[in-house]
Amino acid sequence: MDTAQILLSSSEIEPEIEPTLAELDLGDYEGRYESDVKASMGGHYDEWRSSLMRVAPPGGESMADVVTRVTPLVECLQSTKGVVLLVGHQYVNMALKAKLSGCFSTECLQAYKQANDEFDIWSLDPPGFMSRMAVG
């Protein structure tokens, strides 16, 4: 919400919270230090992380689960006219882009990752990536 408020600070637009944009649920790993998760998983940690969340953590969501969760929002956006600003977290943003593009390959998912100071501009008609910009 903080990022949306900053981006909209010079406008009259009030940001809205959209629950489907909540970050991927890390299940049993939620709230734990990454080093602790890595220690508990042993050699499987790097494999799990490189899967780009295709494999769900215990009790959590996979990328496919998040795509399913955001699909109704994408369908709603596709019937919306005008400009829409979505501010979300890394894996939710990746799921949105996968759904919009129809590409769920490792290469596509890797390309959908953004740094914290980057934003992407997408077209919905026709759906597709337009450009990536860095703020910093």
Taking only the tens place, the pLDDT of each residue in 73-108 is 999 988 888 888 888 889 999 999 999 889 999 999
| Residue where one domain finishes, among candidates 60, 77, 112 | 60
My answer on whether 69 and 129 are in the same domain is: yes
Q: Which domain holds residue 31?
A: 26-60
Q: What is the pLDDT of residue 121?
A: 86
Q: What is the pLDDT of residue 65?
A: 97
Q: With H, G, I as helix, E, B as strand and everything else as coil, classify residue 118.
A: strand
My answer on whether 74 and 127 are in the same domain is: yes
Q: With H, G, I as helix, E, B as strand and everything else as coil, classify residue 28.
A: helix
Reported as a pLDDT band with limits 50, 70 and 90, residue 118 is confident
Reported as a pLDDT band with limits 50, 70 and 90, residue 1 is confident
| Across 27-42, average pLDDT | 94
How far lies 11's CA from each of 8, 94, 134, in Å?
Answer: 5, 27, 21
My answer on whether 72 and 50 are in the same domain is: no
Domains of the chain: total = 2
